[in-house]
Amino acid sequence: MPPFDLPRLRSSPYVAALEHHERIGSTSDRALELSRQDQLTLPLLILADQQTGGRGRGSNQWWAATGSLTFSLLIDAQHLGIAGENWPVLSLSTGLAVCEALEQIAPGGDFGVKWPNDVYCAGRKLGGILIESPSAARGRIVVGIGMNINNSLTDAPQEIQAAAVSLIDYLQRPLDMTGVLLHLLVALQTRWLELGLAGFAAQAGEFRRRCILDGRTLQVSSGPRLITGRCLGIDDGGSLILQTESGREEMASGSIVSME
Ligand code: BTN
């Protein structure tokens, strides 16, 4: 049985156009390619049953087995009211929305966000977010999301099992992939519109409530710097606050290299 009910997805008010691939290298590569076209109906959802060359942040790859959810949304930031100053926090807003959708699907589940672009479940990574916007895309942003949903990790290598989790293993039941995606689309639209209207400050409290980093010792790389400190939280502008040996550091962007 195909994993997605495409007519149901096409009838969602949150998707203006849908391109479905049974197999593709990367949905985000495809979205970036399309973003250069003049005439586009947005938001455009690029959805794959199977993604063979998924990319993560930096030079990371995104491994996706059958049953994982991989898609990219090509959006018009201006249409959503998201001004340039809020683009850097779009990954935070997106992570929060993903978490909220998961809470609706599995009430009481242990879901959290890890600044700046990961979604966690019970201490392990459930999903990742990749935001890209090439200059040629004229205000268009590609939001790529990969999540472990129906791909059990029970047979995955030990290091993957230790770091990652899939919803099917956590909940002990398979999920309706179309239903999951529809929940995500509603939650994303809600948080993105709010971001456009009121900025990240309006959702920072909810992000903080779900942030898994508070009090932990982190190593964060930001440009050429590698900074170690205890996480004091996330501020209203979306910056990560660290207490380091030499004082307080606020980081607007970066990647967490390690956390204890
Ligand atoms: C990360 O954790 O570093 C981000 C992972 C993002 C993976 C998704 S899967 C769908 C979309 N297509 C890609 O090639 N990457 C993103």
How confident is residue 134, by pLDDT bands cut at 50, 70 and 90? confident
Among 64, 72, 109, which Cα is nearest to 184's?
72
* Tokens found for residue 72: 């990219």
Distance separating alpha carbons of residues 184 and 100, to the nearest angstrom: 8
Count of CB atoms within 10 A of residue 35's CB?
23
Q: How far does residue 4's CA lie from ligand 1's centre (Å)?
A: 19
pTM over cut 0.95: yes
Cβ(57) – ligand 1 distance below 6 Å: yes
Distance separating alpha carbons of residues 103 and 105, to the nearest angstrom: 5
DSSP element (H, E) containing 51: strand 44-51
Distance separating alpha carbons of residues 191 and 170, to the nearest angstrom: 26
pLDDT of residue 138: 83
- What average pLDDT does the segment 188-201 reach? 98
- What average pLDDT does the segment 40-59 reach? 96
pLDDT exceeds cutoff 80 at 209: yes
pLDDT exceeds cutoff 90 at 1: no
Cβ(203) – ligand 1 distance below 6 Å: no
Please, which residues have CB within 8 angstroms of residue 172's CB and are 6 or more apart in sequence?
none
How confident is residue 36, by pLDDT bands cut at 50, 70 and 90? very high
Taking each helix axis from N to C terminus, what angle separates 90-105 and 177-198, rounded to the nearest 10 degrees? 140
Q: How far does residue 91's CA lie from ligand 1's centre (Å)?
A: 12
Structural domains for the chain: 6-209 (3.30.930.10), 213-259 (2.30.30.100)
